[in-house]
Structure 1
Amino acid sequence: MEIFFSLPILIFIAIAVFGFKAFTVVPQQEAYVVERWGRYYKTLTPGLRWLVPFMDRIAYKHTLKEIPLDVPSQVCITRDNTQLTVDGIIYFQVTDPQLASYGSSNYVIAITQLAQTTLRSVIGRMELDKTFEERDDINRTVVAALDEAAISWGVKVLRYEIKDLVPPQEILRSMQAQITAEREKRARIAQSEGVRQEQINLASGQREADIKQSEGEAQAAVNESQGNKVAQINRAEGEAQALRLVAAATADAIRVVAEAIRTPGGNEAVNLKVAEQYVEAFGKLAKESNTLIMPANVADIGGLVSAGMSIVKGQTPPKV
C-alpha cells in the first residue's frame, strides 16, 4: 500500500522536474545559447522557450546591451621617447551570441588586450604634443582595429575613449612652463597691439583735427579774401561815385560861371577875380622862392590886370 501511494508521488515529482527542465524564460535584451548533447543547437530569444530535458542545456547567456569595459592603464612610449600613462574605456555590444560563445574563450579579455596593444602602437607613431592634439584620431584608430578583429568574436566595438594621458612630472613641469611663457607672450602681444591701436587712433585723430583746422583756415582765408574783394569793390565804387560827383559838381560850377559871365557885368567881375588871383599868385611866388619874377613896370597894376585878362581870354599876355 505504501508503494502504491508513493508511486504517484514519484511520478508527480518526475513530471515537475521534467517541466522545470523543459521550460525557461529568456529576459529582454538577452540571448541564451543552447547545446544538445554538447553541440550547439540554437539560440533562444527573449520570451518563454521550450527545451528537451536531459538533452538540451543552456551553455551560455549573453546580454545584448551596450557594455562599457574599463581598459587598465598602461605605459606607452611616444615617437620622441616620452613615457605616457594611458587608460581608456571601450563600449561594445554582442551582436552574434553563437560567435561570442565559440569564437573566443573570453572575448572581454581579448578586446581588452587588443585595445592595449593597438593603443601602444598608435601612440608609438606620434610625438608627445600630437597625442594631446589628436585624441580623436587615436580613438578612431583603436576602434577600427578592434572592430575588425571582433567580427570573429561576435562583438561590435562601438567606440573607444581615452580617459587620461599622464606624462612624467618633469614633462608636466616643462609643459606648464611652456604654457605660461606662451600666455605671457600672448599677453605682451595683446598689450602691444593695444598700444599700437591707441597710437594709430591718436595719430588718426590728430590728422583729422589738422585737416579740419586747415580746412577751417582755408575757408576763413577764402571768406576773408572774398570780404577784401567786396570791400575793394565797394571802395572802388565809392571812389568812382565820388569822382563822378566831383566831376558833376565841377561841371555844374563851370556852367554856373559860364552863365554868370554871359550876364551883364559878368565879364568885368571875371576880370576883377582874375586880376586878384594873378596878384595873389605873384605874392606867393615871392614868399616860396628865392627867385622873383617881376614885370618891367611894377607900378603898372593895369598891365598886370591886362595880362591876367589875356590869359582868361586865351591870348598871350602882353609884354609889360
Structure 2
Amino acid sequence: MLIFTIVFLLVLFVLYKLMLIVPMREVHVIERLGKFRTVLEPGFHFLIPFFDRVAYRHDTREQVLDVPPQSCISKDNTQLEVDGLVYLKVMDGKLASYGIENYRMAAVNLAQTTMRSEIGKLTLSETFSERDRLNESIVREIDKASDPWGIKVLRYEIKNISPSRHVIHTLEKQMEAERRKRAEITLASAEKAAMINMSEGERQEAINISEGQKQKRINEAKGTAAEIAIIAKAKAEGMNMVAQALAVQGGTDAMNMQLKEQFIKQVGNILEQAEVSVVPAELARLEGFFEGMDKVTQGLAPKA
C-alpha cells in the first residue's frame, strides 16, 4: 500500500511537470536544460519533465510604473521637482527575459534621465505650457532605447511639476504684477472708450443742434416768404379792385370821400394823443388872419 501510494504521488508529480496551463494574461519562457527553448502563449502545453522548466513569467497587459520625484534644472536655470507615470507593455517575452535584467526598473530609470534631459531644453514657462509635447518627446526617447528589451512604451504622463519655494514666491509676484498690468490696461481701455463715446456724443449733439437750427431758419424763411407772397397777392388784388372801382362812374368821387374821411379820422387821433398843440394848416392860416386884424385895429385906435 505504501509503495502504491508512492507510485501514485510520483505519477501525479510527473503529470504536474508534464502539463502546463498558461493564463490568458501571461506568456511563459521555457528553458530546456538551462537553455532557452520557446515562449509559450496562453493555453494548454506539454513539457518534458525534469528537462523543461518555466524560467520567466511575463504579464502581457499594459503596466503602469510610478516614476518617483526627481530634481531637474530647466533651460533658464530654475530648479524643478518632477514626477510622472510611464505606461508600457511586454511585446517579446524572450527579449524581456534575456535582453535586460529588470525591464521595469530600467524603464523607470530611463524615464527619469530622459525627463531631466528634455526639461533641460525648455524654460520654466514652457514646461507648463508644453507639457503634451514634453510627454511625447519622453515617450519617443524611451521607446527608442527600450526596443532591445522587448517592451513597448505606450505613453508617459507628467503628474506634478513643483518649483522650489523661492521660485513659487517669484512666480506669485510675477503673476500679481501681470494681473495688475492687465487691470491697468483694461481700465485705460475703458477710459479711452468712454472718452471716445463722449466725444462722439458731443459731436453728434452739435450736428443735431446745427441741423435743427438750419431747419429752423429754413422753415422761418419759408414762412416769411409765404407771408410776403400772401400779403403781396392781397395788395395786388386790393389794388386791382380799387382800379376797377375807379373805372366805374362815380368811383373817383367815392375815392375822394374815403380819403377825406380817413384824413379827418387820422387828424382826430393825432389831436387826442399829441402832447403839443397841433392845428391843421387851414385853421393856422385863419388864426393868423385874426391876429393880423387885431394888430391893425390896435394901430388905428386914437391915442390918448
1-side partners of 2:98 and 2:285: how far apart? 158
Letter in 2 for 1:162: I
Aligned twin of 1:287? 285
Aligned twin of 2:259? none
Aligned twin of 1:67? 63
2-side partners of 1:50 and 1:242: how far apart? 142
Asked if 1:191 is matched to 2:195, the reply is no
How far is 1:189 from its partner?
1.3
Letter in 1 for 2:164: P
SS in 1 for 2:28: strand
Aligned twin of 1:222? 218
Aligned twin of 1:145? 141
Q: Give runs of aligned pairs for residues 156-195 of structure 1, distance below 5 A.
A: 156-195=152-191
How far is 1:162 from its partner?
1.4
How far is 1:286 from its partner?
8.4
Aligned twin of 1:36? 32
Aligned twin of 1:260? none
How far is 1:100 from its partner?
0.6
Q: Give runs of aligned pairs for residues 5-84 of structure 1, distance below 5 A.
A: 5-84=1-80
Aligned twin of 1:154? 150
SS in 2 for 1:181: helix
How far is 1:285 from its partner?
11
Q: TM-score, normalised by structure 2?
A: 0.79
Aligned twin of 1:299? none
How far is 1:245 from its partner?
1.2
SS in 2 for 1:54: coil
Asked if 1:132 is matched to 2:128, the reply is yes
Asked if 1:252 is matched to 2:248, the reply is yes
Which of these two proteins has the greater Rg computed from alpha carbons?
1
Letter in 1 for 2:285: K
Letter in 1 for 2:193: Q
SS in 1 for 2:248: helix
Deviations 1:46-84 (CA, angstroms, capped at 9, x unpaired): 222222211111111111111111111111122232211
How far is 1:37 from its partner?
1.3
Letter in 2 for 1:188: E
Aligned twin of 2:107? 111
Unmatched segments (≥5 aa) in structure 1:
258-282, 291-320
Letter in 1 for 2:27: A
SS in 1 for 2:117: helix
Q: What's the RMSD between the two structures over aligned residues?
A: 2.2
Letter in 2 for 1:101: S
Aligned residues: 260
Unmatched segments (≥5 aa) in structure 2:
254-280, 289-304
Question: What percentage of residue pairs aligned between the two structures are identical?
Answer: 40
Deviations 1:180-229 (CA, angstroms, capped at 9, x unpaired): 11011111211222222222223223333332333232222222221111
Aligned twin of 1:85? 81
Deviations 1:114-173 (CA, angstroms, capped at 9, x unpaired): 111111212222222222222222211111110001110011111111112122211111
1-side partners of 2:109 and 2:128: how far apart? 23
Contact 2:245-2:251 at 8 Å conserved across structures: no
2-side partners of 1:252 and 1:59: how far apart? 153
Q: Give runs of aligned pairs for residues 305-316 of structure 1, distance below 5 A.
A: none
How far is 1:113 from its partner?
1.4
1-side partners of 2:94 and 2:216: how far apart? 101
1-side partners of 2:252 and 2:140: how far apart? 131
